[in-house]
Amino acid sequence: MKVLVTGGLGFIGSHTVVALQEKGYEVVVVDDLSNASITVLEGIKSITGQVPTFEQLDLRDKQAVHQFFHAHQDIAGVIHFAASKAVGESMKLPLEYYENNFFSLINVLAAMKHIGLNKMIFSSSCTVYGQGEVMPLTEEESIKTALSPYGNTKQVGEEIIVDLAKVYPLQAVLLRYFNPIGAHESGFIGESPQGVPYNLIPYITQTAVGVRPFLSIYGKDYDTADGTCVRDYIHVVDLADAHVRALEYLFKNENTEQIEVFNVGNGQGYSVLELVHSFERVSGIKINYEIVERRPGDVDKAWANTAKIERVLGWKPTKTLDDMLASAWNWEKKSRKY
Ligand code: UFG
């Protein structure tokens, strides 16, 4: 079966392409290469021995998207990753974020509808919960006003899909990711942020190789055990597996609702300091850090209740925090020839 992965050369996309190929799917990737490198195709080939069909495509271009879908009418399902994803950047570039994330989603959905394709997995985020009240967070937690244009694109993206499903027999799974980290154990693919990393793990690994002089820890006065923020970190390989299972669930028509929502996390919270100290233990390298001001928009804690995805999709996280940190460290060293 043929599966389209939009944003398939990005961090989560590339790991999902590998997981799909390993399950025997024929994968077609589109990516505009705005935040990914064409060399990721070689990384994928080094792992699976196969290069996915690739087309460089800007999904904001409605005509090009329609042409693409017309040329690939045998696609059975779409995993839609392609989007701008940096919270901080979205505060500076709101229009670009709304344009890219909404136009791309709308164009893909419209083209799917046009050719009668109806199975989609959408990348959503735990950001839709804002500061949740009760930990761990279930899918029933209320949706809070988004704190950033990026977060808003995830909330409204979910609504667009729900609204389309009222007038079109769309079958979709919305996966609300917690904090994806780590890399493929081979070290052939991983996370490659452009410029100064916004996220914690690439900042830690870049500090460890000496690219950054020190890590800034944003705040030590949060309502948590050690005062630093607590997050639920999920290995990108486990997250990729959740996508494959979600798609197969739709392929087998096992879904009872047109739109199903699942949290994807490890179900356990770790503080920033716990993460730093675990990394030091795993890598044997001391991380220079400083405690600085809180970062605007950060919630004090978020971790997932994953009972629903375990029950319905039979998915379970298989990787430990040490696996996540070791693989991220292996990737950083390998990609920098450290
Ligand atoms: N952090 C630091 N120093 C850094 C980077 C991060 O202390 O240099 C801290 C943050 O303050 C936070 C934790 O590390 O407490 C994790 O931060 P990340 O930037 O790695 O990830 P976020 O928790 O901010 O990201 C999550 C989701 C996103 C979502 C976002 C919304 O992964 O999809 O929350 O706030 F958009």
Q: What is the pTM of this model?
A: 0.97
Top CATH class of 2-181+234-265+305-317 equals alpha beta
Note whether 41 and 66 are within 8 A (CB).
no
Residue of the CA atom closest to atom 4 of ligand 1: 200
Ligand 1 proximal residues by C-beta, below 6 Å = 87, 125, 127, 150-151, 179, 198-200, 203, 215-218, 229, 231, 272, 295, 297-298
Residue of the CA atom closest to atom 16 of ligand 1: 200
In this model, does residue 147 exceed pLDDT 90?
no
Q: Which pLDDT value is given to residue 87?
A: 85
Q: Which pLDDT value is given to residue 321?
A: 98
In the block, tokens 């055990």 appear at 225
pLDDT digits (tens, 9 = 90+) for 295-306: 988 999 999 999
> How do the domains of the chain map onto residue ranges?
2-181+234-265+305-317
As a whole number of angstroms, the distance between CA 251 and CA 264 comes to 20
Quote the ligand 1 centre to 276 CA distance (angstroms).
14
Quote the ligand 1 centre to 199 CA distance (angstroms).
5
pLDDT digits (tens, 9 = 90+) for 65-111: 999 999 999 999 999 999 999 888 898 999 999 999 999 999 999 99
Q: Which pLDDT value is given to residue 289?
A: 98
Angle at the Cα of 12 from the Cα atoms of 176 and 212, rounded to 5 degrees = 105
- Report, as residue numbers or ranges, the catalytic residues: 150
Q: Which residues of 74-92 are buried (b: 16+ CB within 10 A; e: fewer)?
A: ebbbbbbbbbbbbbebbee
Ligand 1 pocket, mutate which of 199, 235, 239, 273 (most atoms under 8 A from CB): 199
Q: Which pLDDT value is given to residue 160?
A: 98
pLDDT digits (tens, 9 = 90+) for 238-289: 999 999 999 999 999 999 999 999 999 999 999 999 999 999 999 999 999 9
Summary mean pLDDT of the chain: 97
**Residue 42's pLDDT band (boundaries 50, 70, 90)?**
very high
Quote the ligand 1 centre to 42 CA distance (angstroms).
29
Q: Which pLDDT value is given to residue 88?
A: 83
pLDDT digits (tens, 9 = 90+) for 179-208: 999 999 999 999 998 889 989 999 999 999
Ligand 1 pocket, mutate which of 272, 273, 291 (most atoms under 8 A from CB): 272
